[in-house]
Amino acid sequence: MHRIKQSLLPALLFIVAGVAAINGLSLLRHARPAGLIDVGTAAEPDALDDEPIHPLPRKIDLDPQKVVLGRRLFHDSQLSADNSISCASCHNLHRNGADNRAISVGVAGAKGDVNAPTVFNSGFNFRQFWDGRAETLEDQVEGPIHHPAEMATDWPQILEKLRADSGYTAAFSSIYAQGMNSRTIKDAIATFERSLITPDSRFDRYLRGDANALTADEKEGYRLFKQNGCSSCHQGILAGGNMFEKFGIVADYFADRGRIAKSDLGRFNVTGQETDRYKFKVPSLRNVARTAPYFHDGSAQTLKEAVSVMARYQLGRQLTARELDLIVQFLETLNGEYPGGDP
């Protein structure tokens, strides 16, 4: 298939790798919010530093009071118009920080337009949302609060409800000089989200020098992941989350799928630039085996299907059943544990 396009592939990969390198630099600029994160990989003598994927930090230094307050807000349905939906309704911490639906459901059964990404490890994304329209986790909170198909509310409504709760007013005034307002609510929620890390996956233990943490098949899957060029886009701490890329580089995903919606235009909706049409934030592959279905449109039911679509549309390759199986086995080693316990 696509003989001409195939011959362009080396050039395309070269460009992708160049973009990846540039974005690797931007990761350094973006991934460390305000001195909160100690990404101590360099200090670890055995870490495989020249690999495209880097281990998640085991611990993040955060204000524990803000984390507790943010956790409560994250689970509080008063943040929605009819008190029915909390952040956790769509980002369930028992479901790996997502909702396992193709498309999320908000207040009064309203259907959204894209798949909910996990909040786990979201503090490491260089931007938030599929199209990157929020620069920070703090800005991101504005999205679901106001979205008519999510929480459908506004700050005056939320503040009125939360101010009636003396537990909240006391907690806010003990942490923040300004007390409770939209800014401090966003700060607490974002701080809680930064605590949602899943370190110590088997793959991270391998990166940190434990050669026995992976089986021979999983190592072979990782080799195929790199050799086929997956790691030109899925790289860094999250195996993703540090660049925008077009969905459908080698073949036209959207023409083949049909029914193109506004949410399919991706980054174009933010910048209005033709070159950003169909571009999305490359999603993290951390815990990806646990967050089906896949893609912004929730169209791939299984990880195997998602990998096969990627190989075909991003790389112009038809992987064998064995290769698919090995790559999926490797991806499963990116499952970590959320150590924070549940509320």
Of 56, 90, 188, 207, which one interacts with ligand HEC (CB under 6 A)?
90
Establish if 53 lies at the interface with ligand HEC (CB under 6 A).
no
* Nearest-angstrom CA–CA distance, 115 and 100: 9
Establish if 119 lies at the interface with ligand HEC (CB under 6 A).
yes
> Which 126-185 residues touch ligand HEC, going by CB under 6 A?
128-130, 137, 140-141, 144-145, 150-151
* Nearest-angstrom CA–CA distance, 208 and 44: 7
Count Cβ neighbours within 10 Å for each residue of 113-136 and write b for 16 or more, e otherwise.
ebbbbbbbbbbbbbbbbbbbbbeb
* Active site amino acids: 150
Closest to ligand HEC by CB, 283 vs 336, is: 283
Closest to ligand HEC by CB, 117 vs 236, is: 117
Of 306, 316, 334, 336, which one interacts with ligand HEC (CB under 6 A)?
306
**DSSP H stretches of helix in the chain:** 3-30, 64-74, 87-90, 137-140, 142-146, 155-163, 166-175, 182-194, 202-207, 216-227, 253-257, 268-271, 303-315, 321-332
Establish if 288 lies at the interface with ligand HEC (CB under 6 A).
yes
- Residue 277: name the closest of 300, 245, 229 by CA: 245
Of 307, 333, 334, 336, which one interacts with ligand HEC (CB under 6 A)?
307
How many other CB atoms are there within 10 angstroms of residue 48's CB atom?
15
Establish if 31 lies at the interface with ligand HEC (CB under 6 A).
no
Closest to ligand HEC by CB, 114 vs 180, is: 114
Packed helices 166-175 and 182-194: angle between N→C axes, nearest 10 degrees: 80
Closest to ligand HEC by CB, 90 vs 212, is: 90
Footprint of ligand HEC on this chain (CB under 6 A)? 16, 79, 85, 87, 89-91, 104, 106, 112, 114, 116-117, 119, 122, 125, 128-130, 137, 140-141, 144-145, 150-151, 189, 193, 225, 228-230, 232-234, 245, 247, 249, 280, 282-283, 285, 288, 291, 294-296, 303, 306-307, 310-311, 314-315, 327
